[in-house]
């Protein structure tokens, strides 16, 4: 959430840039030679590509160039984070390689770190000139981008080439596909099965004559199972069988489960007993 708020905080300052001159991408995720890589914010101009890494860390932060770590001091406690300059160097290299592998025009690539929390105290070694050039506060972002552009003497990229790169970025962007349960170390057996009442949040609703009935507030809802199935997709996986549907919705009849699945016009593979539905 802190990361999301940090990225959200820079949108206001990016709005000061001339819209027709900049292509702005948030959370772009691309396939490199061997691995995927994700960029918080990527700005394309006719001069260059600018990778922006947003840090929303409170307290005092110190960029340690010797041990390559970012140290946060808050409430008399120190915590070490990954050194963002190493991450940015890797992203610059990956983006450069990606442009080559996709037969796109080579362009100058640079990067900056934006500290979005206004109360954060930023510290670094007086001799570390790289940090002094790379790290800025969010309100300085528009000015920094213009300064970076003016520092480039190479010819401008043609507009059609810039549009070509932009279209390719959008086409090749891939959403992260990871298991929520694995990420937060939750066992599937810990999930409470059943359909939730949209009025009072009671769980589970009871299936009575083609309706979902809430024993607590007496609400009836024909479509309440759709929200539950959407949650199944987000929590468990993007496919479901008749047996899995019955277990998750707390119903016993295969015929009722079959009617519910058919009513949603889902794509499926397999026949009859082995049928698996795609939760598009």
What does the alpha-carbon distance between residue 10 and residue 76 come to, in Å, rounded to a whole number? 29
Average pLDDT of the segment spanning 258-277:
88
Average pLDDT of the segment spanning 192-221:
93
What does the alpha-carbon distance between residue 178 and residue 186 come to, in Å, rounded to a whole number? 13
Phi, psi of 115 (to 5 degrees): -90, 115
**pLDDT score at 177:** 65
Average pLDDT of the segment spanning 86-114:
95
Q: Is the pTM of this model over 0.75?
A: no
255 has pLDDT over 80: yes
Average pLDDT of the segment spanning 240-259:
93
pLDDT band, very low/low/confident/very high, at 183 (cuts 50, 70, 90): confident
127 has pLDDT over 70: yes
pLDDT exceeding 90 applies to what percent of the chain? Answer: 74
**pLDDT score at 175:** 80
Least confident of 11-25, 90-104, 133-147, 173-187: 173-187
In the chain the first and final C-alpha atoms are separated, in Å, by 27
**pLDDT score at 117:** 92
**pLDDT score at 258:** 92
**pLDDT score at 178:** 67
Beta strands in 13-107 (DSSP E): 23-31, 36-44, 48-55, 60-64, 69-74, 77-82
Average pLDDT of the segment spanning 193-210:
93
Which one, of 173, 148, 151, 158, lies nearest residue 104 by Cα? 158
pLDDT band, very low/low/confident/very high, at 240 (cuts 50, 70, 90): very high
253 has pLDDT over 80: yes
1 has pLDDT over 90: no
User: Residue holding tokens 């990229």?
Assistant: 157
């Amino acid at each position: 959430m802190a990361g999301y708020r940090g990225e959200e905080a820079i949108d206001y300052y990016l709005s000061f840039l001339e819209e027709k001159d900049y292509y702005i991408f948030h959370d772009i995720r691309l396939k490199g030679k061997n691995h995927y890589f994700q960029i918080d914010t990527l700005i394309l101009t006719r001069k260059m590509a600018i990778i922006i890494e947003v840090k929303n860390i409170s307290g005092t932060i110190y960029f340690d160039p010797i041990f390559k770590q970012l140290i946060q001091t808050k409430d008399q406690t120190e915590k070490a984070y990954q050194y963002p300059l190493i991450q940015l160097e890797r992203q610059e290299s990956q983006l450069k390689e990606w442009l080559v592998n996709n037969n796109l025009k080579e362009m100058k690539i640079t990067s900056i770190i934006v500290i979005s929390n206004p109360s954060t105290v930023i510290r670094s070694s007086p001799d570390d000139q790289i940090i002094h050039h790379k790290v800025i506060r969010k309100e300085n972002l528009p000015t920094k981008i213009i300064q970076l552009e003016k520092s480039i003497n190479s010819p401008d990229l043609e507009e059609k080439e810039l549009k070509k790169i932009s279209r390719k970025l959008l086409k090749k962007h891939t959403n992260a596909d990871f298991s929520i349960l694995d990420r937060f170390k939750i066992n599937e057996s810990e999930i409470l099965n059943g359909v939730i009442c949209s009025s009072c949040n009671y769980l589970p609703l009871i299936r009575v004559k083609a309706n979902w009935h809430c024993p607590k507030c007496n609400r009836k809802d024909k479509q309440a199972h759709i929200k539950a199935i959407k949650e199944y997709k987000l929590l468990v996986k993007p496919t479901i069988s008749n047996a899995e549907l019955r277990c998750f919705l707390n119903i016993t009849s295969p015929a009722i489960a079959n009617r519910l699945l058919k009513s949603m016009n889902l794509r499926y593979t397999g026949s009859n007993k082995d049928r698996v539905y795609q939760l598009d």
